């Protein structure tokens, strides 16, 4: 049986406002997120990355359920909230996902390197390694 005792998946159990917030976050994405989104769709069609995926109280920037991988793009303000990001990463790890983070500057100046790092992680995951 899929889902909980009533047959509802985690996504179906989320409040209706979560989908609205996910859409708003996609529409207000900055240039680094838009560039990485295009690159992910092109480079990893089988990984089926999705944008702004809700996980509990958080939204993951990019998530591949197939690879159990979350990619986060961090702006300059993330340097000031490292403790909060660590809590978020721990939560996402307990959900069974690996988290890889990149700074906005990395995405803007070295998109090929970012994609290569993600490719290495996806390949590592597909080989059945944690």
* pLDDT tens column, 41-53: 999 888 889 998 8
Q: Which residues have C-beta within 8 Å of that of residue 32, sequence separation ≥ 6?
A: 73, 75, 104, 107, 108
Name the fold adopted by 16-126.
Answer: Endonuclease; Chain A (3.40.960)
Cβ atoms of 39 and 111 closer than 8 Å: yes
Over 80: is that where the pLDDT of 116 sits? yes
pLDDT for position 111: 95
Domain regions of the chain by residue span: 16-126
């Amino acid at each position: 049986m899929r889902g909980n005792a009533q047959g509802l998946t985690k996504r179906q159990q989320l409040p209706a406002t979560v989908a609205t917030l996910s859409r708003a976050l996609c529409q207000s994405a900055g240039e680094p997120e838009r560039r990485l989104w295009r690159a992910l769709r092109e480079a990893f069609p089988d990984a089926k990355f999705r944008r702004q995926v809700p996980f509990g109280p958080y939204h993951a920037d990019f998530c591949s359920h197939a690879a159990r991988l979350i990619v986060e793009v961090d702006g300059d303000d993330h340097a000031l909230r490292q403790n909060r990001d660590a809590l978020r990463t721990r939560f996402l790890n307990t959900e069974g996902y690996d988290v890889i983070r990149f700074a906005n500057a990395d995405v803007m100046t070295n998109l090929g390197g970012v994609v290569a790092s993600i490719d290495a992680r996806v390949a590592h995951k597909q080989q059945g390694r944690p």
